Amino acid sequence: MLRKAGLTASFISHVFQILGELACDSIENIYRQIQSVSQPPLTNHDDIRNIVIIGASYAGYHAAQVIASNLPPKSPYRVVIIEPHSHFHFTWVLPRFCVVEHQEHKAFIPYGPYLKGSPEARVRWVHERVAQVGRNSVRLAESQEQIPYAFLVVATGSGAADGLPSRVAADTKADGMALLQDMQRNIKQAQHLVVVGGGAAGVELAADAKQRYPEKHVTLVHSRKVVMHRFGPELQAAALQGLEDLGVEVILQERTTSSSIVEGQVTLQSGRRIECDFLVNCTGQKPSSSILAGLAPGAISPTGTVRVKPTLQIQDEKLPNVYVCGDVAEVGIDNPNARSAMRQGMVVGLNIVRAATGGSPTKTYKPFWGEGVIKLTLGLDKSISHVSDGKTELCWHSKERNLALMSAGAWKRLGAKPFEDHDGSEKQVV
């Protein structure tokens, strides 16, 4: 009990520390804006210098917001955001929306409102992929345009080979919704659903499917001794209990030999065969670092993450103007999530603003265990939240009353009105 009280006190102390840092950063920004008043306005378009950000998920989008809102009004720098997706993907709700119908549009949040208040000319959006990163420029894959940069931010995140339920393998909202609807139909039609992988996505999808369709046989296959193996024993036990209470069959320390369904069955490595007419693969995500292989191969670790300094500059002395943040960065986090990604985005953004205004990038990122708090749904109306410092765990159960979970809050945090999306071709509220 004393340890848990100490854990709570440490977490609260860290929150106040973060608030203090934000207050200091705000004061620094006000001073920077005042200093800029005496600077002459930029008159030559050719003098504009680009801060290129590759990837606009949690880390990249937040870095863009910090930079665009903190650069002085007369700054010669412009933020160029390169992101192939038409909308921000709220990935936390994807397992739920793979099962529950008529909610999938809420996973796609319009880009733009989060940068509201920044001068329009300061931000350029490019909805393409990067084919190559060079020492001074990036080349786009489709248009082949070369975009020079003074600073580069790589926030490409991580990807899942099979896409859903962890990622949406589509660039447009319409295509992404179609993929989710296909998944919903397949799960609805299946009588024997097999979910492979006992991490958060697998546990949540299996639990939701069983509660939504109690007549189905839902089996979760996981290669480890416990589900949620990257977390503490209290969460592991609660997750297993939640699955079993719903009637999900959990098979541990087993793997499927392939994702192929043969004669209505899949085969496990032990030789056991289980009935299956639809299989969902929820295993493994890998860092998306390949675009840096040509520029800084020595900075890419064996796991695919990119080595960085505490300032989140890439671990390469020849590239002081290249920063990496989010899931793709090697920062010593076992379970990367949105909170840590956004704090990294803040550090990168503030360091670039300092460097762009004549200062030094001295802001550093240090992982804090409190950023690893997780909320795991265990069916449509229950969840468990968990946080641990590696020695002590805190778990608390909650009731969930909204099928869309925290979608509306995510839209609001990104400056958008739930669930209005004016996509440019037709104005509608979805």
Number of H helices, E strands in the chain: 8, 25
Give the separation between CA 58 and CA 267, rounded to whole angstroms.
38
Q: CA triplet 344, 360, 48: central angle to 5 degrees?
A: 85
Q: Is the torsion defined by CA of 19, 158, 403, 218 positive or negative?
A: negative
**Closest C-alpha among 108, 81, 100, 230 to residue 167:** 108
pTM given for the model: 0.91
What per-residue string of b and e applies to 348-375 under the rule 16 or more CB within 10 Å gives b? bbbbbbbbbbeeebebebeebbbbbebe
Q: Taking 60 as the threshold, does the pLDDT of residue 28 lie above it?
A: no
Residue 318 confidence class, pLDDT cut points 50, 70, 90: very high
Pairing of strands 306-307, 87-89: unpaired
Chain centroid to Cα 27, Å, comes to 29
pLDDT band at 424 (very low <50, low <70, confident <90, very high): very low
Segment (H or E) for 376: strand 374-377
Reported as a single tens digit per residue, the pLDDT across 287-303 is 999 999 999 999 999 99
Once rounded to an integer, what is the mean pLDDT over residues 352-358?
A: 96
Q: How many residues does the chain have?
A: 430
Q: Which two tokens stand for residue 182?
A: 């296909």
pLDDT at 429 over 50: no
Enumerate residues 6+ apart whose C-beta is below 8 A from 302.
none
- Closest by CA to 400, choosing from 92, 12, 166, is 92
In this predicted structure, the answer to whether residue 430 has a pLDDT above a threshold of 50 is no
**In the structure, what pLDDT confidence band is assigned to residue 117 with cuts at 50, 70 and 90?**
confident
Q: Provide the b/e sequence for 203-228 (b: ≥16 CB within 10 Å).
A: bbbbbbbbbbbeebbbbbbbbeebbb
- Nearest CA to 84 out of 102, 60, 49, 100 is that of 60
Q: Up-side HSE of residue 399: CA atoms within 13 Å toward CB?
A: 1
Q: What is the pLDDT of residues 184-234, one digit of tens each?
A: 999 999 999 999 999 999 999 999 999 999 999 999 999 999 999 999 999
Least confident stretch, 35-39, 46-50, 244-248: 35-39
Provide the pLDDT for residue 22. 58
The radius of gyration of the chain from alpha carbons, rounded to an integer in Å, stands at 23
How far apart are alpha carbons 344 and 181 in whole angstroms? 33
